[in-house]
Chains A and B, each alone.
Chain A
Amino acid sequence: MSDAAVVETEHGHEAHQTYTGLDNVKMAMWAFLGSECLFFGALISAHLLYRNRTGDGPTRQEVYDIPYTSVSSFVLLMSSLTMVLALAAIQKGDQRKLRIWLMATAMLGASFIGGQVYEFTTFVQEGLTLQTSPFGSSFFVLTGFHGAHVTIGILMLLSLFAMSKIGRLPPSDANKVEMIGLYWHFVDIVWIVIFTIVYLFP
């Protein structure tokens, strides 16, 4: 069997032309991200309903440390830049730079998660837990699900890193980096929305 004839429809970039001209995987990723919008939309709506229902527990103003969260938000946003650089690197066929930027992205994401863990710990010490008030429940569940998304993203970035390391991420597979990049940017954008609505919005 010759290599050239072997195409699988799952690998849209190699398969024959699609009807719309858009890559299958890319379209599916956009669809999935559309679905995710509703997921976070529902969580954010619930939080908006509960943001001032603090019961006997601490209020938003009492627990939020805006300068601290601004810094960790900046860290996460910078990871979008390194993600773009990683994609540019694989498109140029530069495996070394690809790995550098993938690792940088993962590390920036991990710093954000570390910051979130620290923030959660502080909040718990100040008396805000999942069970304190509807505000606490909706805050931790919303930001926790976002953190889980970032963590899954880190896992995928590290997998890409490992695949590049063993030589199984050729430039023809650049769309894999692009797809995970789309996911990563989406998670960043969701954080901008969360940071604005949950933290900054008075």
Chain B
Amino acid sequence: MSTVASPTTPWYLRRPQAKTGLWSWLTTVDHKRIGLLYGYTAFIFFVLGGIEALLIRAQLATPDGTLVDADLYNQLFTTHGVTMIFLVVMPMGAAFFNYMIPLMIGARDVAFPRLNALSYWVFLFGGLFLYSSWFMGGAPDGGWFGYAPLTSNPDFLPGANRLDFYALGLQILGIASIVASANFIVTILNMRAPGMKLLRMPVFIWMSLVVNFLLLFAMPIIAVALFMMTFDRTFSTLFFDSAGGGDPILWQHLFWLFGHPEVYILILPAMGIVSEILPVFSRKPLFGYSFVVLSGAAIGFMGWGVWAHHMFTSGLGPAANAAFAVSTMFIAVPTGVKIFNWMATLAGGSLRFKAPMLFSLGFIAMFIIGGLSGVTHSIVPHDAQQQDTYYIVAHFHYVLFGGAIFGLFGGIYYWFPKIFGRLMDERKGKVHFWLMLIGFNLAFGPMHILGLKGMPRRYYHYQSGLGWELWNMVATIGAFIIALSVLVFIFNFAQSRKKGEVASEDPWDGRTLEWSIPSPPPEYNFEEVPMVEERDDFWHRKYKEDQKGRPVPVPAGGAEDHGAEDHGEKGHGIHLPSPSFYPLIAALGLPMMAYAVILQSWPLGIIGAVVALSGFYGWVLEPATAEH
């Protein structure tokens, strides 16, 4: 309904108006607040997943570890994987999408503010639902990949409803991702400021677009696989039951057909962030912009054709193995294109080694190592040796931690002054970086050696005398150094947030539109919607080039100051979407229905459905704006 609320509107359809306090956060539809909610929530899960990792490493520090038993160990490594992928890296990416996409494309909000709130609440409830399993008979213990039939037959892993929590929890999180992806795709394509053609968009926006298309098409596949698993477990269907004629390999195909695009869903946001940071801290435009953009899109397409390299040892036959080996080697090409373009961006630039830059350089270095070990998996006989060893663990931590997490931390340091209006302390940032880099390499570097020496993944203890003691101890020490670095970060974040040096609008001499508005941004983002005339538009408002292509500042007053004029009361007459509590209500129905499956309770399921439906009906019927 696009009518203004009249005094006759019933109370439950009036739009909430709180501007501060808890109620304002529960009903917010502001993309910046939702971005912060995503970020803080993801960080809390990062700490939880980190604690799980520390328990794993403490258990494996010495042979015959006794800290945890096999059962708890299974829960720990499964929850660690699920947490870091679905509750940390994906939502942290979503936090940046939320906060930065509208600012970087010159928009006042996303295309669907209430859908945006819905995505966040669904994500939060999905995460809480998954973690509630710890208190209801144990956490999922079948690995983050949940291979059938171990997971699809309730008799094989008899721990209460652990795998139901896995299947239903990921299902809920998938809904959040699909909703968000449709929203961001429309936002990027439709909400751009005038003049921001596709090839003028910042690289981060491009990578966001690719990621959200991947999410849009990958999440329904895992949804189907998870439904099949739930049906096998709950209604005794035969999808993955080999005794009954089903095929457990079907799970692997569906899972990895989602799972490999998922890898790019995790890494491309970080690649986008790094592509923004490097030019700013090199004071040069990104080298080969169109190559970086097109290689990102190429990764998005080719990512669909490599999934079976996760399944080389499952007996697909030489033809399939050869085809997927070749496609896997081939996908390294666009990734390599990106790396060479980043290095060429650095070449000859006036480099400033601030914390965001350090994390970006760390990203490149660590990602190269992880990328190269990844290419070794494409050699099928080699992969047969590596399968299920610590070599694989080393590889994917180099791309997911050394890659994605380093890139995301770089993004936090880079955009912190824009978001909070203060700079993060540079010295503590450097301490954080070096501790994390050293700890990371100590933790995961030795795992290459352990894997090649034959140490298998997912074993809760090992015997002495196998030559694994030293490197396991080193890895554990490294893990605790990482933990220390995260503590430094938390301290730095909390302190800088309160007492950090006040940041200007444009503390890094940035290139993209978000630096043209105050820090922190006003609720309406842009006083006037900017007109975009070229790539890196904001930079070109500040600098012209001399004959040798060096930047020369535009003399004061010579710049066309779009949107900087003062129109009296700032933001007057700009209408923003009104808050709403219906996204929260609609989202609340989902975990209720999921608990209903676990508790086998029809009444709870019906109540959940009614809650969700009433949320959506209220959503449709509430007026577009609040009363004034």
Contact = CB atoms under 8 A, between A and B. Distances in A.
A159 B223 CA distance: 27
A111 interface: no
A28 B227 contact: no
Nearest to A145: B227
A24 B112 contact: yes
A55 B237 CA distance: 13
Contacts of A7: 2, 575, 624
A138 B231 CA distance: 11
Interface residues of B, number: 58
A38 to B, nearest CB: 4
B113 A32 contact: no
20 contacts: A6-B4, A8-B575, A9-B108, A9-B112, A9-B113, A10-B114, A12-B111, A19-B190, A19-B194, A22-B189, A28-B185, A31-B181, A32-B178, A34-B217, A38-B221, A43-B224, A50-B245, A53-B245, A130-B235, A168-B621
- The 7 A-B residue pairs with the shortest CB-CB distance, nearest first, are A39-B220, A137-B237, A18-B190, A42-B224, A31-B182, A38-B220, A8-B624
Given A8-B625, A42-B221, A46-B250, A35 B182 contact: yes
Interface in A15-65: 18-20, 22, 24, 27-28, 31-32, 34-36, 38-39, 42-43, 46, 49-50, 53, 55
Interface in B227-244: 227-228, 231, 235-239, 244
Contacts of B2: 6-8, 11, 14, 172-173
A42 B1 contact: no
A141 B628 contact: no
Interface of A: 1, 3, 5-12, 14, 18-20, 22, 24, 27-28, 31-32, 34-36, 38-39, 42-43, 46, 49-50, 53, 55, 130-131, 133-134, 136-138, 141, 145, 159, 168, 172-173
B219 interface: yes
B252 to A, nearest CB: 13
B186 A8 contact: no
Nearest to A31: B182
Nearest to A39: B220
B113 A35 contact: no
B535 interface: no
A22 B190 contact: yes
Given A46-B250, A133-B245, 16 more contacts: A6-B624, A12-B190, A18-B190, A20-B190, A24-B186, A27-B185, A31-B181, A34-B216, A35-B178, A38-B218, A42-B254, A43-B224, A46-B254, A50-B245, A55-B245, A134-B238
Contact of A28 (B182, B220, B228): B182
Contacts of B306: none
A49 B254 CA distance: 12
Contacts of B115: 10, 28
B460 to A, nearest CB: 34
B17 interface: no
Interface string B176-209: 0010011101100111101010000000000000
B97 to A, nearest CB: 15
Contacts of B553: none
Nearest to B621: A168
B227 A141 contact: yes
A145 B219 CA distance: 16
Contacts of A1: 4, 625, 628
A10 B4 CA distance: 14
A8 B183 CA distance: 15
Contacts of A168: 1, 621
A145 B227 CA distance: 10
A3 B623 CA distance: 12
Contacts of A159: 617, 620
Given A18-B190, A31-B216, A46 B575 contact: no
A49 B4 CA distance: 54
Given A8-B577, A42-B225, A131 B114 contact: no
Contacts of B224: 39, 42-43, 46
Contacts of A173: 2
B190 A24 contact: yes
B575 A31 contact: no
Given A31-B181, A130-B235, A137-B231, A9 B246 contact: no
A104 to B, nearest CB: 22
A55 B220 contact: no
B534 interface: no
A141 B257 CA distance: 20
A14 B3 CA distance: 11
B555 to A, nearest CB: 33
Interface in B90-110: 108-110
A186 to B, nearest CB: 13
A141 B231 contact: yes
Contacts of A8: 2, 113, 575, 577-578, 624-625
B247 interface: yes
B143 to A, nearest CB: 21
A56 to B, nearest CB: 10
B577 to A, nearest CB: 5
A40 to B, nearest CB: 8
A95 B236 CA distance: 48
A131 B190 CA distance: 47
A170 to B, nearest CB: 9
A36 B220 contact: yes
Contact of A130 (B183, B237, B246, B620): B237
Nearest to A137: B237
Contacts of A39: 220-221, 223-224
B116 to A, nearest CB: 10
Contacts of B247: 49-50, 134
A6 B625 contact: yes
A10 B221 contact: no
B571 to A, nearest CB: 14
A45 to B, nearest CB: 8
